[in-house]
Amino acid sequence: MTRWTVTGVFLLYSILIVAATEVLMPAALLYPAAYWFYARRETFPRSALLACLPLGLAVVPACAAGAVLYGVLIVLALSMRLFISRGSPALAVAVPAGLVFVLVMAAIFSAAQEQGVAVTTVVSGWADSVVSESTRASAGVFSGKELSDFQDMLALVRDRIVMLFPALMLTGAAFVLWLNLLIIAVKGRAARLGEWRSPEVMIGLFILAGLLTIVPMQGVSTVGVNLLIVVGQVYFFQGIAIVSVFMAERGWPLLIRWPLYILIVIQIYIMVIVAGLGLFDAWFDFRKRIRTPKGDIR
């Protein structure tokens, strides 16, 4: 496609995110990757200016909320581009995810202060709405004992959502950004996903999280479980980097790689195994062994 065609498609995509946010939410989550593909052949001022043009729709009341979300997406996209260009794929995920976490938590604290309630009350209200929607949907699928068992499970899920909300929010944001990075790495070859490495301090955090989870105090153990989930996700990303190098070294085509990535993501047990691979990489350096011809490992 020509430069003007690419620019027009990207601008239309951006405008639709602002104007029809609810309909295009899944597509909106991939905005950082879309911006990278558009901006890689443009100067920074030009690409940033064009990306900001749809913010003008904020003057339309129906588009105000979409414009706020789009503004956040622009910041995430710009920060990802910055760290990718500097060869720091881990920071391209960690920094934007941390920003999303701070913004969400700030909004929750603000809502709690405005309503004069505790933060947990705001989170509980959100969890209740999720469970209520799921309960209504389940009524048309299950019946009798199956419906009762499913609703009991939803009640348990509701409690877990409240307890693990910080970790779920942070890891959810990081996962979406990592998917964007994965698309960029596979298609753009700029983000060297195979070089993803966790800092050594993560080992200490993993041990600390494990110790906190066994402390017989609910508040402390809850902090430990949240921390363990976050650390586990970091090592999952490192494990995926090892898998990526393994497939690349053997020249596996994309038609094989993508189904395997999807299988890993949707199977919780495989995700745990991959995270364990990332954890033990600190001692065994699997990528060096994969890249070194057999018999040359020292």
Query: What does the pLDDT look like over 22-36, one tens digit per residue?
Result: 888 888 889 999 999
pLDDT confidence bin for 248, thresholds 50/70/90: confident
Residue of higher predicted confidence among 121 and 130 = 121
Judged by phi (left if over 0) then psi (alpha if -120 to 50, else beta), residue 191 lies in beta
Shared domain for 81 and 94, answered yes or no, is no
Shared domain for 104 and 55, answered yes or no, is no
Say yes or no to pLDDT of 73 above 90.
yes
Shared domain for 192 and 296, answered yes or no, is yes
Shared domain for 215 and 289, answered yes or no, is yes
Shared domain for 78 and 100, answered yes or no, is no
pLDDT confidence bin for 295, thresholds 50/70/90: very low
**Domain stop point among 43, 70, 86:** 86
* Rounded Cα–Cα distance for residues 74 and 60 (Å): 19
pLDDT confidence bin for 296, thresholds 50/70/90: very low
Instruction: Identify whether 179 is part of a domain.
Output: no
Shared domain for 206 and 260, answered yes or no, is yes
Judged by phi (left if over 0) then psi (alpha if -120 to 50, else beta), residue 117 lies in beta
Which pTM does this prediction carry?
Answer: 0.83
Cβ–Cβ < 8 Å for 11, 56: no
pLDDT in tens, 193-232: 777 788 888 888 999 999 999 888 888 899 999 999 999 9
Domain count of the fold of the chain: 3
Instruction: Identify whether 61 is part of a domain.
Output: yes
* Rounded Cα–Cα distance for residues 239 and 197 (Å): 9
Residue of higher predicted confidence among 285 and 134 = 285
Instruction: Identify whether 180 is part of a domain.
Output: no
How far is C-alpha 7 from the geometric centre of its chain's CA atoms?
27
Shared domain for 154 and 131, answered yes or no, is yes
223: tokens are 């902090």
Full domain range(s) for residue 250? 187-298
**Domain stop point among 86, 121, 148:** 86
Per-residue model confidence (pLDDT) at position 143? 62
Shared domain for 229 and 264, answered yes or no, is yes
Instruction: Identify whether 182 is part of a domain.
Output: no
For range 109-124, the mean pLDDT:
85
Shared domain for 206 and 235, answered yes or no, is yes
Residue identified by tokens 């998917």 is: 179
